[in-house]
Amino acid sequence: MKKFFSEFKEFAVKGNMFDLAVGMVIGSAFTSIVKSIVDDIIMPLVGVLIGGVNFSGLSVKVGDSVIKYGNLIQNIVVFLITAMCLFVVVKALNAMKRKKEEPEPEPEPEKKPDDIVLLEQIKDTLVEIQKSNNKQ
């Protein structure tokens, strides 16, 4: 039980809880904006395009109950638009994160001129010869 509370403390102190709370508040505000756009702009336009149907008024009476399937249609549209927006935002954030994680490619060293390479090979050969002569 002690381990559980220490893990929870670590989780809360890391800031994850605060990030989650901020995300919830922003998500709630964003959802209300999307809902307003769908209810007040998109659905009336869709209703006009398909013959003046008001989706919020669509319902079926079954016995004494009323099934308001028009509200369901509107809520599905709100969900789809919200999900699409969140998908685009998460995709953009992941792309930015990947760019930060990718190291800058190291520039290729300049190729040495052939005469310098040849002189270095001669020097290395002379050093090897001198080492072998000193061993004897």
Please give the mean pLDDT across all residues of the chain.
Answer: 81
Q: Are 121 and 129 in contact (CB under 8 A)?
A: no
Q: What is the CATH number of domain 2-135?
A: 1.10.1200.120
Q: Are 11 and 17 in contact (CB under 8 A)?
A: yes
The model's pLDDT over 8-62, given as tens digits with 9 standing for 90+, comes to: 777 666 666 677 777 888 888 888 888 888 878 887 887 788 777 777 778 899 9
